[in-house]
Structure 1
Amino acid sequence: MAAPAPFAIIIPARNASTRYPGKPLAPLRGATGQVRPLIERSWIAATQVAAPAQVWVATDDQGIAEVVREFGGQAVMTPENCRNGTERCAAALAVLGDIAPVVLNFQGDAPLTPSHVVPELVAALGHDPDAAMATPAMRCSASMVAHLLADQAAGRVGGTTVTFTPAGRALYFSKRVIPHVPADAAGGHVHVHLHLGVYAFRPAALAAYAALAPSPLEQIEGLEQLRFLEAGLPVRVVPIDAVGWDCIELNNPQDVPPIEAVLLARGIA
């Protein structure tokens, strides 16, 4: 079996989040009481599977860049007009050049992402030459679905769910909980898959994405990956086994306590 392709990780981070301004620098307390900014916790998660020299934070904010350099990370400056994280990764790659045959967009607001998904995505992309991008989906626990439904009922934008074919082709991504599962369906949560915001691209696909105009569904849902689907570009979904914690993203200030609870439970400093 061929060795997996080398890869690099880019973590997009912008300060002017509509829902949570200043989010990359939001403090998160770990198990020992140590407080680290969100972007540092995301960087630590990325460096569990890649050497620090192959991980960059892409940002348009000098304050974020300074914080990244202070904790020992690499920052690359990108334009303010990047409309989403994937465009920001494309802009970073244009600056960095040929850093690897596979580039991963590792979300800066998802510090609880299980590190093992990264090599699985790289391998899946290597085995599927038709795919423009590979991304993971994890079967939800009952508590994760409850968290998503609570956000939905309160009108908050929470995590993203995805539906896909048995062959692993993405059908749709949504910030609503899909598919709809009747409230009285026993064990209905097993039909819901949480999309984890990690994307593996070949550099050419990343450049092609940035050259496309934002698509209608992308703009309605606020989900960058829908641009691929609306352009007819296949997206490979890689199902992964559930882990022993809820992979909550920091989308709203209300997400801080449950994320800190997971850090505490997992003993993450």
Structure 2
Amino acid sequence: MTDKTVIIIPARYASTRFEGKPLAMLTGSTGARKSLIQRSWETACDVPSVDGIFVATDDQRIADAVHNFGGQVIMTSQNCRNGTERVAEAVQKLPEPADIVVNLQGDAPLTPPWFITALIEEMKGDSTVEMATPVLRCDGLTLNMFREDRRNGRVGGTTAVFDQNWDALYFSKEVLPFTDKTYADDEQTPVYHHVGAYAYRPTSLARYIRWPERSLERLEGLEQLRLLEHGVKIRCVLVDAQGRVFWELNNPVDVARIEKVLQAKGWP
């Protein structure tokens, strides 16, 4: 019997850094303009052997946009403080129970589908893993972009540090670990980019939503820190970009960055 796996894409309109972000339009190689949420949905559709894909939102504008391109929506409350809380609420409203729940962030349309497959395989291969998330070793180009964002007061990507078993020690919006070396664009660095996707057991989500927000989560604005602060191990799964550029849409400036990748790769 196979584990039933679903992907849930949390999406909210009222983003502090970029209001209305899920409906931001991105122009592809053919000139076609699609919303961020539609491009994130299409990314999820490229993941094989998934039993269902849903957008979880509290905003009717986002729900209407998803319905217009043929996606499925689960409406959630306005009380969700982050994507994991929204996913946890959506799980309770799934038409059928799931064994593995994947949270694909709605601001990461460049996520390669094999990143998600790697998480699912890790969860299926080790029943003790309660939560898994991908990490990608930064090359100099990505690290330099992180540094540029911080120099300009922008919050860019998240970095991860982990132990010898690949269980997370910490996640931060600062660049960790510290290194003052200058790296060439194609040079490997000791910094690992935390990719915005998670796989959970439904039991872990049920506990998460009952726990209060603690100090580290509040300071960093990173939802996964709630689990670390409560002693839950998070397995970091090393993934390979295979030459694909990966960038999340965190700030308005990232629209041009993502469009450049879409157009360079010939993605419509």
* TM-score bin, normalised by smaller chain: over 0.9
Aligned equivalent of 2:207? 208
SS of the residue corresponding to residue 189 of structure 2 reads: helix
Deviations 1:193-248 (A, max 9, x none): 11111100111111111111112100000000001111010100001123313211
Letter in 2 for 1:158: G
Residues 73-112 of structure 1 correspond to what in structure 2 (within 5 A)? 73-96=71-94, 98-112=96-110
Contact 1:5 1:123 in 2 (8 A): no
Aligned equivalent of 2:248? 249
**Which 4+ stretches in 1 moved above 4 angstroms?**
50-53, 184-189
Counterpart among 15, 18, 35 of residue 17 in structure 1: 15
The alignment status of 1:196 with 2:195, answered yes or no, reads: yes
- Which ranges in structure 2 are unaligned for 5 or more consecutive residues? none
What is the CA distance between 1:184 and its match in structure 2?
A: 4.5
What is the CA distance between 1:97 and its match in structure 2?
A: 5.1
Aligned equivalent of 2:221? 222
Letter in 1 for 2:196: G
SS of the residue corresponding to residue 65 of structure 1 reads: helix
Which moves more between the two structures, 174-183 or 10-19?
174-183
For the residues of structure 2 that align with 1:226 and 1:253, how far apart are their CA atoms?
A: 26
Counterpart among 122, 127, 131 of residue 129 in structure 2: 131
For the residues of structure 1 that align with 2:40 and 2:71, how far apart are their CA atoms?
A: 11
TM-score by length of 1: 0.95
Contact 2:157 2:194 in 1 (8 A): yes
What is the CA distance between 1:100 and its match in structure 2?
A: 1.9
Letter in 2 for 1:211: R
For the residues of structure 2 that align with 1:268 and 1:184, how far apart are their CA atoms?
A: 32
Residues 1-269 of structure 1 correspond to what in structure 2 (within 5 A)? 5-50=3-48, 54-96=52-94, 98-184=96-182, 189-269=188-268
- Which ranges in structure 1 are unaligned for 5 or more consecutive residues? none
SS of the residue corresponding to residue 191 of structure 1 reads: strand
Letter in 1 for 2:194: H
What is the CA distance between 1:168 and its match in structure 2?
A: 0.9
SS of the residue corresponding to residue 113 of structure 2 reads: coil
TM-score by length of 2: 0.95
Query: Alignment RMSD, CA only?
Result: 1.7
Count of residue pairs brought into register by the alignment: 267
